[in-house]
Amino acid sequence: MIEALLILLVPPVPPPLEQATAECVRPTYASDMFVCGDVELKGIDALLAAERQMTIPISFSPTAIWEDDTSWFRRRSACAFVSTQRSCLTSAYAERRAVLASARAFDGTGDWTCSRPKGGPSFLGKIDSTGVLTVGSPTGIEGIATSGLGNEGGWKGYATYTVAKNRLTARKDKTTVFRCSPAKPLPR
């Protein structure tokens, strides 16, 4: 009976507001407190906030293998639960900044011809100098994967790729999302 009264008297706690960078004035997440208390991480967080404002010239397709800012931030916040929190956060920020830079630089060209495992059209994939693979066409990005960039301190990339015997395989959650081979001209 008392529990029922408490349920009626105590309003539910709303979920935290969506955020994509650390909140230092009123931190919601333990990882925010850590970032805000570390000069270097706070600076990297500010750089990411500025980079998020830069335009990505090519849009993402509706089925793109891409982690939006809010989802990335939630995963980044889970770094609070590993003993190597600083290393995890540093890796998370390094990967996110590289992924955003690769998306901004992608021009629809590439050195790899990529397709989804279940068939469909071919796309071009380009691996940039940081090891980020961007797959798409001049009209849209189909996906972004990393080569394990920043997979340190407990951080795992959203989508990753491996190269073996001149074949590239991109995976998300152990599921193959792209298979690529050295580029050849796409049919017109």
Domain ranges of the chain: 25-182
pLDDT for 14 equals 45
pLDDT for 9 equals 56
Question: Distance between CA atoms of 188 and 184, rounded to whole angstroms?
Answer: 12
Q: Which residues have C-beta within 8 Å of that of residue 175, sequence separation ≥ 6?
A: none
pLDDT for 12 equals 53
Cα–chain-centroid distance for residue 7?
38
pLDDT for 8 equals 53
> Where are the strands (E) in the chain, listed by range?
60-65, 112-115, 123-127, 132-137, 140-146, 160-164, 167-172, 175-182
Q: What is the mean pLDDT of residues 111-119?
A: 92
pLDDT for 6 equals 45
For the cut 70, the answer to whether the pLDDT of residue 154 exceeds it is: yes
Q: What is the mean pLDDT of residues 139-155?
A: 85
Q: Which residue has the higher pLDDT, 1 or 179?
A: 179
pLDDT classification of 107: cutoffs 50, 70, 90: very high
Question: Distance between CA atoms of 88 and 102, rounded to whole angstroms?
Answer: 21
For the cut 60, the answer to whether the pLDDT of residue 144 exceeds it is: yes
Q: What percent of the chain has pLDDT over 70?
A: 86
pLDDT for 146 equals 93
pLDDT for 56 equals 87
Q: What is the mean pLDDT of residues 72-99?
A: 93
